[in-house]
Amino acid sequence: MSAQMLHLLLIVLPLGAAMGFFGGLFGIGGGIIAIPVLVLGFGLDQATAQGTALVMMVPNLLLAWWRYARHNPVPLGRALQVAAVGAATTWGTAHFAHLLDQGLLRTLFALFLLFVALRLIVASPERTAEKSRDPRWLPVVGLAGGSSMGLLGVGGGLVVSPLLTGWFGLGQRTAQSFALAMVAPSSVFALGAYAQNQRVDWPVGLVLALGGTLTVAAGVALAHRWPERVLRRAFGWMMAATSVWLVISQHVFGG
């Protein structure tokens, strides 16, 4: 066994397992955790870290989508509309992300993390919408989520779910089912765009994916036993700390 393969199995596989577990715990693909680790710990540039994380996220998201669809079905036509808009937007913005300066892209990602973190820490988990909007506006949600997926490689579900609960008055589980219906296929399009621009470290990504698929179910099971407010705030503080560290490393260490 080569030294590189041994490194992948001893370090990257457990790392993927940890990310899969926390991704399942917080209801995400794991990219928000994976990308800073790949940048700071593995020395990948921001775009390559995003593309590599998508290799892990695609199977995690597809698995979560399947599980949610069984227990929280949503209208197929509406889901396909959101998914189509999200996938098309993801494809275009992913190519745009390849052209951006890496320092700028990393700063945008850090600011995005901080924005989502503050929402999770401050916002009430209860449904905030008193009146539902016309469901014909649902494709706009796909536009917002697809832009996040393509530009940042992550965050589609974190953008879509609050919009669906806050603007359309959907329950959290139904919103998450809609979000996964958009994010799962969008992640495939995003991975294709990053791979086309040669921004994927396949050996690292595939081992991360293997580790993640082994533990995502355990994370989901634990999430159903923890109070929602505890989960939201713990996740928010984790993202806030990651955002601050990304900014510090960018300006102090030149990473």
pLDDT, residue 129, reads: 44
For 184-201, what is the mean pLDDT? 87
pLDDT, residue 9, reads: 78
CA 32 to centroid of chain Cα atoms: 6
pLDDT, residue 130, reads: 47
Task: State what percent of residues in the chain have pLDDT above 70.
Answer: 87
Spatial contact of 109 and 35, defined as CB atoms under 8 Å apart = yes
For 180-192, what is the mean pLDDT? 83
The span from the CA of 255 to the CA of 251, in Å, is: 8
> What residue type is 9 in one-letter code?
L
Residue 76 has pLDDT above 50, yes or no: yes
Residue 127 has pLDDT above 50, yes or no: no
Of all helices (H) and strands (E), which one includes residue 106? helix 102-122
Residue 246 has pLDDT above 60, yes or no: yes
Under the banding of pLDDT at 50, 70 and 90, the label for residue 252 is low
Contacts of 119 (CB under 8 A, 6+ apart): 162, 236
Task: Provide the mean pLDDT of the chain.
Answer: 79
> What residue type is 30 in one-letter code?
G
For 94-101, what is the mean pLDDT? 75
Under the banding of pLDDT at 50, 70 and 90, the label for residue 41 is confident
For 15-20, what is the mean pLDDT? 88
The span from the CA of 164 to the CA of 181, in Å, is: 13
Residue 198 has pLDDT above 60, yes or no: yes
Between 3 and 125, the higher pLDDT residue: 3
Which tens digits make up the pLDDT trace of 135-158? Answer: 778 888 888 888 877 777 666 777
pLDDT, residue 204, reads: 93
Between 125 and 109, the higher pLDDT residue: 109
Q: What is the DSSP letter of 242?
A: H
pLDDT, residue 249, reads: 64
pLDDT, residue 124, reads: 61
Dihedral sign of CA atoms 144, 33, 26, 231 in order: negative
Q: What is the DSSP letter of 225?
A: T
Other beta carbons less than 10 A from residue 153's beta carbon? 32
Under the banding of pLDDT at 50, 70 and 90, the label for residue 187 is confident
CA dihedral angle for residue 241, residue 223, residue 218, residue 144, rounded to 10 degrees: -60
Which tens digits make up the pLDDT trace of 206-236? Answer: 999 999 899 888 887 787 788 767 777 787 7
Spatial contact of 72 and 176, defined as CB atoms under 8 Å apart = yes
Between 223 and 16, the higher pLDDT residue: 16
For the chain, what is the radius of gyration of the CA atoms? Answer: 17
